Amino acid sequence: MAFWGCQLKPGDKQEVESKDGEVLHLSQACLHSPQPGKTVLQVQDGKDIFALAMLAKGKVEYASFDLFFKAGQCTFINKGTSELHLTGYFEPKAEDMEDEEEEEEEEEP
């Protein structure tokens, strides 16, 4: 697993990129230096745009997720007044996990 983080200023967009087309596990979004007003985290998947969270200073300043996104196929969008920090990690590809399991089995006496 490899840590992933993203800082989105108000109005910014960030495409999820990875060298090997890995899957991103989005874990959390939080407001950084919250400002008055609402901040909406959106994800664009192809032509479709979906709201993931609506955050507001002094009310809801973070959101936890258990969502998976394929790198290269989605973009995160900050619609609001505060900077957003997104965190998560890249899942190892299934074939990489199988290789690790085989290596562990070979190492056992």
pLDDT tens, residue by residue, 60-97 = 999 999 999 988 889 999 999 999 999 999 987 765 54
Q: How is the chain split among helix, strand and coil, in percent rounded to 5?
A: 15, 60, 30
The CA distance from 18 to 57, in Å, is 32
Single-letter amino acid, residue 2? A
Which of 31, 72, 75, 87 shows the shortest CA–CA distance to 55? 31
pLDDT tens, residue by residue, 27-69 = 999 999 999 999 999 999 989 999 999 999 999 999 999 999 9
Give domain 2-104's CATH architecture. Answer: Sandwich (2.60)
Q: Which two tokens stand for residue 3?
A: 């840590």
Domain borders along the chain are 2-104
Q: Which two tokens stand for residue 108?
A: 């056992």
Q: What is the pTM of this model?
A: 0.81
Q: In what order do the strands lie in the sheet with 83-91?
A: 2-8, 83-91, 23-32, 62-70
Instruction: Evaluate whether 60 touches 97 at the Cβ level (below 8 Å).
Output: no
HSE of 41, CA atoms in CB hemisphere, 13 A: 27
